[in-house]
Amino acid sequence: MYRGRFAPSPTGPLHFGSLVAAMASYLDARSQGGEWLVRIEDVDTPRNQPGAADSILRTLEFYGFEWDGPVLYQSSRFEAYQCALEKLRRARALFPCACSRKEVGEIYPGTCRNGLPPSREPRSWRLRVDDDPIRFNDRRLGAQEEVLSESVGDFVVKRANGLFAYQLAVVVDDCWQGITDVVRGSDLLTSTARQIYLQTKLQLPSPSYLHLPVAIDRTGDKLSKQTKAQPIPTSEPAAVVTLAEAFEFLGHTPPQPFHSIKDAWAWIKPIWETGNIPAVRARSISHA
Ligand SMILES: [Zn+2]
């Protein structure tokens, strides 16, 4: 049974890039008779914006998305993350690290791998990685390979501020929710090898992955809350135009303007082909 998910972080209102991600995973799930779940990734509590989770859910609802089951909030899952952490610790896959973010840089140099330096206090927990290539097949991009020791090094699973790392939370929840297919933005492609490695270490199954082209604005910047992407409109007829733009971005160009949101979904659902999503990475969209 196919089971997909959309997993936004509540750091701001829904923008075009997240609409595209929600849409592609939703249509991929429904076109295969599968279930589609929504998970609010509020594990990084200091970054959460009050009201953002509700706003995202209301916007999804307004745009006509229908999800299965209750929404899962990562903030309710800390015990499960702690369990996973204990499992890794018992397997001697973790080590305490005293380094600050400033001391580390892009790739962890292994400073605390064989014990904390003298008179340093542990801050975070890192997962030991190795030199074996992680290989997976992306449904859109094809064969992928990453050697974690060369790309990131030993990575953090519990942070200095006591919070669990995003990578650990995602892996634990994807398994717990029985997710078989992950469809998400290419900005998360660089997280996939770490997530597969964690799945292996925790003896969890790996879902299949499809990474979408990233939506960029006219200046070529990735659309995100960080680059102040505009929230998508939440009234008709502007929302109907936005839906059509998202269909087009995903390789399905509407033959004529839609009358309503309902109308738009009625057109796309029977003709949706995940294979039509353009292979080229990104192109600019008009409303950015
Ligand atoms: Zn360290």
The protein residues having their C-beta less than 5 angstroms from ligand 1 (an ion) are 97, 99, 111-112
For residue 226, the model assigns a pLDDT of 52
Predicted pLDDT at 218: 56
Tokens 């330096």 belong to 117
pLDDT given for residue 288 in this prediction: 38
C-alpha of residue 243 to centroid of ligand 1, in Å: 46
Residue-level pLDDT at 184: 96
Residue 219: the pLDDT is 58
Q: How far is the CA of 225 from the centre of ligand 1 (A)?
A: 31
Q: How far is the CA of 229 from the centre of ligand 1 (A)?
A: 35
pLDDT confidence of residue 221: 60
In the prediction, which pLDDT does 281 show? 47
CATH of domain 3-77+172-276: 3.40.50.620
CB-CB contact of 206 with 136 (8 Å): yes
Residue 189 zone, left/alpha/beta (φ > 0; ψ -120 to 50; rest): alpha
* Interval between CA 159 and ligand 1 midpoint (Å): 12
Same fold, 3-77+172-276 and 78-167: yes
Q: In what order do the strands lie in the sheet with 133-138?
A: 142-147, 133-138, 208-212, 181-185
**Ligand 1 mean position, distance from CA 119 (Å):** 13
Task: Return the pLDDT at 222.
Answer: 60
Would you list the domain boundaries of the chain? 3-77+172-276, 78-167
Q: What is the pTM of this model?
A: 0.92
First to last CA, the chain: 37
Q: What is the pLDDT along the chain (288 residues), one digit of tens a residue?
A: 999 999 999 999 999 989 999 999 999 999 999 999 999 999 988 899 999 999 999 999 999 999 999 999 999 999 999 999 999 999 999 999 999 988 998 999 999 999 999 999 999 999 999 999 999 999 999 999 999 999 999 999 999 999 999 999 999 999 999 999 999 998 899 999 999 999 999 999 999 999 998 776 655 566 554 555 789 999 999 999 999 999 999 999 999 999 999 999 999 999 999 999 987 544 455 443
Cα-to-centroid distance, 146 and ligand 1 (Å): 22
- CB distance 32 to 3 below 8 Å: no
Cβ count within 10 A of residue 203: 9
Q: Which residues pair with 246 in a beta bridge?
A: none
Residue 206 C-alpha to ligand 1 middle, in angstroms?
29
CATH assignment of 78-167, given 3.40.50.620, 3.65.10.10, 3.20.20.70, 3.30.1330.10?
Answer: 3.40.50.620
Beta-bridge partner residues of 37 = 5
d(CA 84, CA 70): 23
In angstroms, rounded to a whole number, what is the distance separating the alpha carbons of residues 282 and 288? Answer: 13
CA of 127 to the centre of ligand 1 (A): 11
